[in-house]
């Protein structure tokens, strides 16, 4: 049994789909305290900060904490603050190559594992009307880079290198290797 230290419905769905038993609990960590423009450093520090807080809350349980960011190669595209910010962030991805980077920390059988995975997407240019409908739907809320590769962005994928699960917030394929689950996801 794992404790998923995250409020993310998408991460919970990934674990369910993989057949991993878990309980979902959150521990607070202030990501805004991280001061870096490097997406790899940011995601590592954010996920490790969450992990440390989880270890304080859950002393003996198997735990996992993760964080995900989107980068257009120039900047970190974080969670949008509002619809205007979501539009700006999504337009920075339209017709471009982006990197979705997920870091996870796992304590399993009292061993600690940490890793960073990334999935690189090249997107076609987003249709303006379709983008506006997505923005109005609010589905982008709480998503790194306002990006949903399993939803809105899926039809615009020109090429992909990496796992979709990484882009969705948790590299299940690598997690299964850590916890000794099935070899294929």
CATH number at residue 7: 3.90.950.10
Residues taking part in catalysis: 67
- CB distance 109 to 143 below 8 Å: no
Q: What does the pLDDT read at residue 169? A: 93
Q: What does the pLDDT read at residue 73? A: 85
Q: Let me know if residue 161 belongs to a domain.
A: yes
Q: Let me know if residue 69 belongs to a domain.
A: yes
What's the domain count of the chain? 1
- Residue span of the structural domain in which 89 resides: 2-179
Range of weakest confidence among 83-97, 133-147, 169-183: 169-183
Q: Let me know if residue 33 belongs to a domain.
A: yes
Report whether pLDDT(138) > 50: yes
C-alpha angle 99/102/106, rounded to 5°?
A: 165
DSSP output for 128-177: HHHHHHHHHHTTTTT-GGG--TTTGGGGGEEEEES-HHHHTT--HHHHHH
Q: With bands split at pLDDT 50, 70 and 90, how would you rate the model's confidence at 181?
A: low
Q: Let me know if residue 113 belongs to a domain.
A: yes
> Looking at residues 45-70, what average pLDDT do you find?
94
Q: Let me know if residue 100 belongs to a domain.
A: yes
Q: Rounded to the nearest 5°, which phi and psi values hold at 12? A: -60, -40
Report whether pLDDT(184) > 80: no
Q: What does the pLDDT read at residue 19? A: 93
Report whether pLDDT(70) > 80: yes
Q: Let me know if residue 79 belongs to a domain.
A: yes
> Looking at residues 120-124, what average pLDDT do you find?
97
Q: Let me know if residue 117 belongs to a domain.
A: yes
Q: What CA–CA distance (Å, rounded) separates 94 from 113?
A: 35
> Looking at residues 99-115, what average pLDDT do you find?
96
* Mean pLDDT, the chain, integer: 93
Q: Let me know if residue 185 belongs to a domain.
A: no
Q: What does the pLDDT read at residue 183? A: 45
> Looking at residues 43-60, what average pLDDT do you find?
94
> Looking at residues 73-87, what average pLDDT do you find?
93
Looking at the chain, the whole-number percentage of residues with pLDDT higher than 90 is 86
Q: What does the pLDDT read at residue 1? A: 86
């Amino acid at each position: 049994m794992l404790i998923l230290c995250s409020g993310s419905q998408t991460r919970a769905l990934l674990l369910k789909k993989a057949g991993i038993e878990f309980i979902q609990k959150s521990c607070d960590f202030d990501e805004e305290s991280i001061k870096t423009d490097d997406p790899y450093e940011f995601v590592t520090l954010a996920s490790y900060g969450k992990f440390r807080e989880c270890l304080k809350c859950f002393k003996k349980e198997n735990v996992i904490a993760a964080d995900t960011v989107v980068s257009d190669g120039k900047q970190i595209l974080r969670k949008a603050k509002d619809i205007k910010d979501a539009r700006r962030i999504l337009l920075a991805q339209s017709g471009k190559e982006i990197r979705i980077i997920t870091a996870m920390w796992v304590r399993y059988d009292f061993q600690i594992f940490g890793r960073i995975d990334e999935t690189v997407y090249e997107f076609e240019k987003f249709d303006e009307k379709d983008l506006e409908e997505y923005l109005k739907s609010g589905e982008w809320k709480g998503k790194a880079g306002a990006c949903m590769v399993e939803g809105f962005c899926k039809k615009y994928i020109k090429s992909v290198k990496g796992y979709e699960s990484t882009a969705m917030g948790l590299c299940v394929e690598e997690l299964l290797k850590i916890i000794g689950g099935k070899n294929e996801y």
